[in-house]
Amino acid sequence: MSITAVPGFDAAGVACGVKPSGDPDLALVATADRQPVAAAGVFTTNIVRAAPVLVSRSHLQSGQAVAVVLNSGNANAATGERGRNDALRMCELVGGGLGCETTDVLVCSTGLIGIPLPMVPIESGVPTLVAALGADEEAGHRAADAILTTDTERKEALAVADVAGGPSFRVGGMAKGAAMLSPAMATMLAVLVTDAVAEPAALHGALEHAVRDTFNSLLVDGSRSTNDTVLLLAGGAAGTPVIGPEGHAYHALVEAVTEVCDDLALAMAADAEGATKLATVVVAGARSGEDARQAARAVAASQLVQCSLYGADPYWGRVLSELGASGAWFDPERVDIAYNGITMCRDGVAALHDERAIEEVMAGREITITCDLNQGMGRAAVRFTDLSHAYIDENMGTS
Amino acid sequence: MSITAVPGFDAAGVACGVKPSGDPDLALVATADRQPVAAAGVFTTNIVRAAPVLVSRSHLQSGQAVAVVLNSGNANAATGERGRNDALRMCELVGGGLGCETTDVLVCSTGLIGIPLPMVPIESGVPTLVAALGADEEAGHRAADAILTTDTERKEALAVADVAGGPSFRVGGMAKGAAMLSPAMATMLAVLVTDAVAEPAALHGALEHAVRDTFNSLLVDGSRSTNDTVLLLAGGAAGTPVIGPEGHAYHALVEAVTEVCDDLALAMAADAEGATKLATVVVAGARSGEDARQAARAVAASQLVQCSLYGADPYWGRVLSELGASGAWFDPERVDIAYNGITMCRDGVAALHDERAIEEVMAGREITITCDLNQGMGRAAVRFTDLSHAYIDENMGTS
């Protein structure tokens, strides 16, 4: 299974020489007939935006696209006017190769910040890339490989949606990110395609909804990169109905897009640099959903909680302290905290528990910390990882 | 030099048995005549507040105090009703020993969260502690030793203030904290005394001002503990005038209190767990002071920036990215970033620089990263440290 499992899309991946290692570093996803289709994107909220983010946002104003070109090995971020020209040139090269408008090509980059994009390998690589486009599974795998940086595994996902009274459709995707932020790099990219027929507004709505509970609920080091981009193209090969931003078909689209984003986010967490634990913090009983998200994020972002997990120490006192500093409101003496269902803190104080059972939980790889604030109905979950020596080693230097 | 260098105050420190190691763990600072004097405090903004924080805040409503009792080895946090009774009992025991009201005694605790305070050693330790009170330098050192947890060095400071037309006065202080947050612990405590004659409102104003630019501008892991407390008692031995919250004498008080807090904060940063670098990020040219503080804090809190420093890598792209994600507003293409004066980024892109000079800077222990946003007059500085293997080792477990 790869992104080409969705009818109507081709993909390719090649090594053009941006990465000194010679690993694959240039990828392309395009409609099979090279005609524009409905497209939407969500981008980093960082005000320092990489050149490809600026160019893709501008090109998406039309609500349509033919292709997405992506390079790894260089983020084309903090590269000024030159960087914007380089990103635009990538679109122009691909448009020329595919026979479509420059503005119908979207572009993503990932890698080191602050170094101009080497355009010689890109100029010579794009024709090879276009020539390599194919609808077979391997072509999709090669595209997914060519966007990786510190990732150790290719990340792909597929969902099938059934809509009562209409044809079923597929949503496929590929992503890179050795955590929400592949830390040395800039950073997470995902491209999704579907054969549904959908309006750009519906695509955008589905994408925003899906991202909130998946990629935006994954935290490794709390940084938001200059390049984060998630794109969704709807080719329409599955046939009518046209999906607008409401109704049954829209809900099926949201569900399928969320499923794909969730699978890709999980793959990122599992591949997080140096991580030995795959953790989830669930905050329940908050006054509001926003309070719950804020509190869950504070626990997940805590270096102290992350270190505790690395040391297999169920130190719930740190979790309680981070909840208290998060800005969420609650009564500290009504909080319950459990690790994989074993309650360590009840009503804000230590709870009696089975020592052997908690030791077994902490020795495992997957740990869910559930914090019940007992104030209301707000609930949120954030995936995160522990903080290990290997994380530091990975991020000590760029060379 | 110790806290007893300020005329009118006695101190003591003993080992009572809260710490299993047998190290000193109970400290007392009291007025020499056991009479109440003007007092003020600032406390953690965490809504999960330790029992001693609740009790001290309540006792400070009168604006006066005779003594501060402090224990290390146990934070008395997340201990519920029992914890509050224990904190109150500590005040009662000290009040009994000194012959003053329970409400004139303030209390601080630092150590692990979520474990009831062992009262047997406290009950037997307080009489010994009161008997050990002395005005000599060694008595002050013993008090400063008895509040340490993972600290490797005693932290004391003294400032002398001259006021035109009035007697000079002194401000002395002691603190604990192996970083803003001694991470496994809960966490930073500081007690300051002065022989100035001052109103509680003036003390509170001076303390708030001093704390903002010192303890609150120091960041190791971004966590705010359940126990953070800074107290200031004014004994008045230096004689009139009575310092109110304005005028020359007030400014002299603010300056002297800030100097002592700054010395203590620097001692904490220098003693930060596992740190190999003592870093400062200065954000200048922000739209406002608040924007500058927000941006500086985001850079200092970044695990990626911290890892870069540990690896002696001047990766300014991460600094720029964290500024952009901080919430502060600026034009990314007007930002300059320098490490110890060597400009690595100008107008948002890489700047030519002397490779050997930057290598020398990064090899050093003290590094100042200056970020000029070129938007306005807002300026802030935050001290921080790098993220090392030793930090993780220190915080993997509580046992």
| Gap from A245 CA to chain B (nearest CA, Å) | 30
Residue with tokens 């503990």: B225
Give the whole-angstrom CA distance, residue B161 versus residue B169: 5
Pick the residue of B109, B220, B320, B321 with the most A CBs within 10 A to test the interface with A by mutation.
Answer: B321
Asked if A327 and A294 touch (Cβ cutoff 8 Å), the reply is yes
Which among B48, B325, B332 has the least Cβ separation from residue A223? Answer: B325
pLDDT recorded at residue B221: 60
DSSP code of B339? E
| Gap from A303 CA to chain B (nearest CA, Å) | 6
Smallest CA–CA distance from A44 into chain B, residue: B325
**φ, ψ of residue B224 in degrees (nearest 5):** -110, 125
* A332 contacts in chain B (CB < 8 Å): 47-49, 78
| Structural fold of domain B278-395 | Ubiquitin-like (UB roll) (3.10.20)
Q: Are A310 and B222 in contact (CB < 8 Å)?
A: no
Token reading at A164 = 């009562």
| Gap from A219 CA to chain B (nearest CA, Å) | 12
Whether residue A116 is preceded by a cis peptide bond, meaning omega within 30 degrees of 0, is: no
Give B10's pLDDT tier (boundaries 50, 70, 90): very high
**φ, ψ of residue B231 in degrees (nearest 5):** -120, 150
Helix axis angle, B289-301 relative to B316-325, nearest 10°?
Answer: 130
Residue B162, exposed/middle/buried by CB under 10 A (0-12, 13-18, 19+)?
exposed
Asked if A143 and A176 touch (Cβ cutoff 8 Å), the reply is no
Token reading at A58 = 């501008």
**φ, ψ of residue A227 in degrees (nearest 5):** -120, -5
Give the whole-angstrom CA distance, residue B252 versus residue B258: 10
Smallest CA–CA distance from A302 into chain B, residue: B223
The model's pLDDT over B50-98, given as tens digits with 9 standing for 90+, comes to: 999 999 999 999 999 999 999 999 999 999 999 999 999 999 999 999 9
Instruction: Give the DSSP H/E element, type plus range, for residue B243.
Output: strand B242-243
Which among B46, B221, B320 has the least Cβ separation from residue A48? Answer: B320
Q: Are B221 and A392 in contact (CB < 8 Å)?
A: no
Percent of chain A clearing pLDDT 70 (strictly above) = 95
Residue with tokens 């119908």: A104
The pTM assigned to this predicted structure is 0.83
**Binding-face residues of A in 229-288 toward B, CB within 8 A:** none
Which among A317, A347, A395 has the least Cβ separation from residue B307? Answer: A395
Q: Are A317 and B114 in contact (CB < 8 Å)?
A: yes
Any A CB within 8 A of B375 CB: no
The model's pLDDT over A177-186, given as tens digits with 9 standing for 90+, comes to: 865 444 445 5
Any A CB within 8 A of B47 CB: yes
Q: Are A313 and B225 in contact (CB < 8 Å)?
A: no
Name the 3-class secondary structure at B193. Answer: strand
DSSP code of A3? G
- pLDDT surpasses 80 at A59: yes
Q: Are B80 and A348 in contact (CB < 8 Å)?
A: yes
Give the whole-angstrom CA distance, residue B307 versus residue B326: 18
Q: Which of B110, B187, B194, B214 is catalytic?
A: B187
Q: How far apart are the first and last CA of chain A?
A: 34
Q: How far apart are the first and last CA of chain B?
A: 34
* Intrachain domains A3-270 and A278-395 with the same fold: no
- Strand-pair partners of B298: none
Pick the residue of A225, A346, A395 with the most B CBs within 10 A to test the interface with B by mutation.
Answer: A395
Residues 6+ positions from B146 with CB-CB distance below 8 Å: B13, B14, B15, B24, B25, B26, B27, B70, B72
Any B CB within 8 A of A43 CB: no
Domain regions of chain B by residue span: 3-270, 278-395
Residues 6+ positions from B60 with CB-CB distance below 8 Å: B39, B40, B41, B106
**Binding-face residues of A in 94-113 toward B, CB within 8 A:** 112-113
DSSP A126-193: HHHHHHT-BSSHHHHHHHHHHT-SS-SS-EEEEEEE--TTS--EEEEEEEE-SSSS-TTSB--EEEEE
> What is the spatial order of strands in the sheet that B169-176 belongs to?
B64-65, B37-43, B229-234, B189-194, B169-176, B155-161
Query: Residue B52's closest CA among B68, B33, B31?
Result: B68
Give A389's pLDDT tier (boundaries 50, 70, 90): confident
Give the whole-angstrom CA distance, residue A156 versus residue A144: 7
Pick the residue of A43, A44, A48, A187 with the most B CBs within 10 A to test the interface with B by mutation.
Answer: A48
* Interface A-B: count of C-beta contacts within 8 A: 201
Residues 6+ positions from A136 with CB-CB distance below 8 Å: A4
Q: Which CATH superfamily is domain B3-270 in?
A: L-amino peptidase D-ALA esterase/amidase (3.60.70.12)
Asked if A345 and A351 touch (Cβ cutoff 8 Å), the reply is yes
Residues 6+ positions from B131 with CB-CB distance below 8 Å: none
Name the 3-class secondary structure at B348. Answer: coil
Give the whole-angstrom CA distance, residue A303 versus residue A233: 38
Mean pLDDT of B102-106: 97
Any B CB within 8 A of A85 CB: no
The model's pLDDT over B255-274, given as tens digits with 9 standing for 90+, comes to: 999 999 888 888 888 887 67
Lowest mean pLDDT among A67-71, A269-273, A337-341: A269-273
Instruction: Give the DSSP H/E element, type plus range, for residue A207.
Output: helix A200-213
Name the 3-class secondary structure at A211. Answer: helix
> What residues of A are annotated to the active site?
187
Residue B397, exposed/middle/buried by CB under 10 A (0-12, 13-18, 19+)?
middle
pLDDT recorded at residue B220: 61
Instruction: Give the DSSP H/E element, type plus range, for residue B379.
Output: strand B378-385
Query: Residue A357's closest CA among A304, A302, A310, A314?
Result: A314
The model's pLDDT over B329-373, given as tens digits with 9 standing for 90+, comes to: 999 999 999 999 999 999 999 999 999 999 999 999 999 999 999
How many CA atoms lie less than 13 Å away from A189 in the CB half-sphere?
34
Q: Are A320 and B78 in contact (CB < 8 Å)?
A: yes
Q: Are A395 and B304 in contact (CB < 8 Å)?
A: yes
* B316 contacts in chain A (CB < 8 Å): 114
Q: Are A317 and B77 in contact (CB < 8 Å)?
A: yes
Which among A303, A330, A399 has the least Cβ separation from residue B303? Answer: A303
Smallest CA–CA distance from A316 into chain B, residue: B114
Asked if A341 and A242 touch (Cβ cutoff 8 Å), the reply is no
* B321 contacts in chain A (CB < 8 Å): 46, 48, 77, 113, 186, 223-226
Q: Are A318 and B226 in contact (CB < 8 Å)?
A: no
DSSP code of B134? B
Q: Are A115 and B350 in contact (CB < 8 Å)?
A: yes
* A375 contacts in chain B (CB < 8 Å): none
Instruction: Give the DSSP H/E element, type plus range, for residue A380.
Output: strand A378-385
DSSP code of B102? G
Percent of chain B clearing pLDDT 90 (strictly above) = 63
Give the whole-angstrom CA distance, residue B199 versus residue A233: 68
The model's pLDDT over A230-267, given as tens digits with 9 standing for 90+, comes to: 899 999 888 877 888 888 888 889 999 999 988 888 88
Q: What value, to the nearest 5°, has the Cα angle with vertex A223 and ends A218 and A226?
A: 110
Distance of CA B273 to the CA centre of its chain: 15
The model's pLDDT over A147-177, given as tens digits with 9 standing for 90+, comes to: 998 888 999 999 999 877 777 899 999 999 8
pLDDT recorded at residue B186: 57
Smallest CA–CA distance from B333 into chain A, residue: A80
